[in-house]
Every structure is written in C-alpha cells, then in structure tokens.
Structure 1
Amino acid sequence: MATALITHADGLTHVTPAGHPERVARLEHVLHALQGMDLLRVTAPEAEDEDLRLCHPQSYIDRIAAALPRTGTRQLDADTFLSAGSMRAARRAVGGAMRGVDMVLGGEANSAFCAMRPPGHHAERETPMGFCLFGTVAIAAKHALDRHGLSRVVVVDFDVHHGNGTQDLLWDEKRTLFVSSQQMPLWPGTGSPDETGAHDNVLNVALVPDSGGNTMRSAYETRVFPRLREFAPELLLISAGFDAHADDPLAQLNWETVDFAWLTAELCAIAKASGAPVVSVLEGGYDLAALAESAAAHVITLTEKT
C-alpha cells in the first residue's frame, strides 16, 4: 500500500493579508515539492457540521461562518483572518484529516499526509487563534475514537509553537495521549511540562531557543519515545509543523531538514511496532523553501517507513 496525499485546491482560497506568514504560497510550495512522488493522490472532502461538533459547539461553528467576508479579509484576532473561502478551506482540512484516518484504518493506505490550510492546532473549543479556525487533528482523533471504535490514539505535535488548541480539545479525553514539543518561551505561552491533562494524558516537552536538533533528539529519546511505547497506540496522528527549521522567521529552534526526517522515522518505527498506521497533518512552517524541503523529507520518510 502507498502513502496517501490528501489535498484540495480549496486550500488556496483561504486568503490572508499581504505580508502575513500563513499565506497561499505555503500550500503551493508544499504541493510543488511533492510532485512526482509515488503517492496515492486523494481529494479532501468537506467536513460537515456534525464532524466539527466532535470538538466544537454549533454556536462556534455558526459564529465563524457568519463572520466570513464577501470580499477582502476580516480580522478575528491579532493574527487570525478570514476570507470568503476560509470556511470551505478549513472544512476541507478537517475532512482531509478524517479521510486519512478512514483510509489507514480501512487498509487503503499505510499512512497519509494531509496537505491543507489553514492549520488547526491552535484553535480551542470556542476560540480561533494562531491562524487556526478548527482543531483539525483533535477532530480526526475523536473521529477515530468515536466512529472507528479505537481506544488508544496518540497525537504528536512537533510544530515549534505549542499546540494549545489540541491540548484544550483533548484535555479530558483519556483515550488519547497528546505529546507536544515546542520552543519555550514563545507564543502562545502555554505548554509547560506541568500541564499534564485531566488523566495524565498530556506530555509537554519544552525546548529552549537555539537548542538545535541534537537537543530535540535527546528529549524525544529520553522522554517521548518511552511514553509512546508504553501507551501502545492503535493510531498515530502527527501535527507536522516545520517552523522549528533554522531558516524559519518565527522561532529559533534551529532544526535542520534531516532532523524532521529522523523524527518522522522514529515515530513511524514506534507506530509500526504497535501496529498503528500514521496520519500526518500540515501545521506551521513559514520560510517557503525550508517548508517545502522539510515537508518533502517528511513525506518521503512516511513512504519508506510505514
């Protein structure tokens, strides 16, 4: 079985103001980098309200829909914007992640990479923030648990910013283990190691600025990998943010492309040992060249290791 690439042109219709780091060109560069790879190419469906309600109340969904501008952009907070195509793009992002779950659990693929935008890991239950509207990965996890009957789902978030939204949405979900490594201090200011979830189901790994890939590798080897093996997941979901790269303008962890490939390979090995397929969802990454190169290395590794 192949690795699935799940995407849709609607991801290009979520428009942000000129100069905004989370821009259309991000998805264009990722898809260009994946051209020519031997991937099972799949159209991301639109998530319905009932899917979004796995993590968000209907009142919140309606509020986002009502805020969509007919033209131009509308600002929701300091850095989160809507355009006319934003709701459709966000629904495709969630639908794509859910389709990936369906495919790997149904035996259609060993792994899947959902290349969509906007990202999702900062969206809390009733709060859009950090470029994010809906909790894409958290919804995918709930989809696997509630609709596929799984009992142990891991979410690993290696975006340079803490996945505060995913943590919020899965805080009380004892069937999940949420692992997030992030630069600290850095926006959004959450992700302290003492944030452990309602059921000891959250593991936060704080990495200091300029610590580099070797520090990350050591942290994962000593703190994260043993916890993942102990949990023995039935499904591994990855929030794949590539903004820890040394060239990224928004942070200072200074990872190299080989670090993303190494981390992906190690996560895949743990997943395979427990019989868990892998679904990865694009999150951050704001230097276009570094994003494209790192995403390509990530997907190549998925194809080789799952």
Structure 2
Amino acid sequence: MDAFVQDTKLYARRKRRNAIAMVLSYIAAGSGFVALLWILGTLVSKGIGGLSFETFTAMTPPPGESGGLLNAIYGSAIQTLVAALVGTPIGILAGTFMAEYGRGTKTATIVRFINDVLLSAPSIVIGLFVYELMVRPMGHFSAWAGSVALAILVIPVVVRTTEDMLLLVPNTLREAASSLGASRWRVINKVCYRAALSGLVTGALLAVARISGETAPLLFTSLNNQFWSTDMNQPMANLPVVIFQFAMSPYQDWQKLAWVGALIITTTVLALNILARSLSSPRGQQS
C-alpha cells in the first residue's frame, strides 16, 4: 500500500513538472512569435507605403529628391550570387571530406573545430580580415572584396549542413554501390549526394539567407556607390549599407527608403527560410 501511495505521489509530481515545462515552453514560443509579428508588422506599416515601381527602377537619390533602390538591389544580388557561387562548392567539398574521407580522423576534428569557430565569428571580424587582405593592398574598396567577405560567411554554414546531411545517408547504400564496383568518388557523387540533395540545397539557401542582410563586412569591403555600377573592381551599392546610411540620416525621404529596403531584405530572407524549411521537411524530401 505504501509503495502504491509513493508511486501515485511520484506520478503527480512528474505530471506537475511536465505541466510547468509545457507552460514555459508555450510562453517562450509565444514570445518569439509575438516578437516576429511585431517586427514584420512594423516593417510592413512603415515600408509598404514607400514601395512602388520606382523603387525597382530608379537609383538612390540625393536628399530632397525622389528615387529608388535599383543600384542597391543589383549590388546586393550580384555580390550575394558571387559569394554563393564561390563559397558553396568549397563548403560542400569540405563537408564531404569530413563526412566521407576523414570521418574519425584527427584532421577532420581540427577542420570541424575551425569551422565551428568561423561559424560563430562576428561578421565584422571577417570584414576587417578581408579589408587587410584585399582592400588595403588594392588601395580601394571593391565589390570583389565584398563578395569574398560574404563567401567566407557562406562556407561554414554549408560545411556544417553538408557534413550533417551526408552522415544521415545509411552506410548500406555506400556498401551496395561499392559492391557493384563503383569507386569511392562515384559512390559519393551518384549515391550520397543524391540521397542528401534536399539537405545540401537547404544549407545553401540558409547560407544565402544569412549573408543577405550582412552590413558590417560590406562597410569594410565594397562600401557603397550612389550611382549605377557594374564594375566589380569598384565600390558598389548594396541594400544593407544603404539602409544603414539612410536610416541614420536626418532626411525623411531617405528614412522612408530605408524602411522600404528593410522590408525587401526581410521578405527575401523570410522567403528563403520558408523554402529551406519546406525542402528539409519529410514531405519536401519525398518530392
């Protein structure tokens, strides 16, 4: 009888703790959701009014004149694209080495540690590094330097997701392909990459989403350009820096464009994250 009473009390105690944990979890999730809605609501209310066709067709204006964000949007798009094209293959190859060739080795452990440090490094540190590496020797800011800084931020994200996705591929698939006479690289290319394709794409999208709103590294590398420029060897406009400069200015027309630019970046990042989540879900992997 005493044992039954003790078990009943223990069950009631565990049930209370579980209820408390559930309530705290709901409060934390609700707080995050409310904060997200608050941010999105503020951006929409302040940015939607200035969103127009001119935003995507006109250059950034001088104070007191109308204009748009065409040069900044182009600069952000081209630098992000170059960074993704440079950083993604490097990240995939490094992740492949750690998951396939160097699994369990000391070299892979060291590379993984360095990658984790790089993953958590402040972006401004990356910007200063590229400034010393490229901007100072070249003697001027450039979009190439900005792309390199963003590519360095892409690499650790892709490395981590690539390694994790390849480790999820069952070894039986590798063994089956090897038993048919396939070489190690062909097994990785034809079997492992295909099995982990949705995860690899998700990692690339998350990396692009991360660098889309980075301001600090671009302040030290590509800086800004009020005019239209396609020369990657010269300073180039980009949305994060334009938003920073316009938001800090005393001109209301610039501040209005800063809200519009923030809305564009946030919408883009949100869309990329939703796409990445959909690809990483079981339903997205099956399709």
TM-score normalised by L of structure 1:
0.23
TM-score normalised by L of structure 2:
0.24
Report which structure shows greater RCO (CA 8 Å, sep ≥6): 2
Between Structure 1 and Structure 2, which shows a larger proportion of helix residues?
2
Between Structure 1 and Structure 2, which shows a larger proportion of strand residues?
1
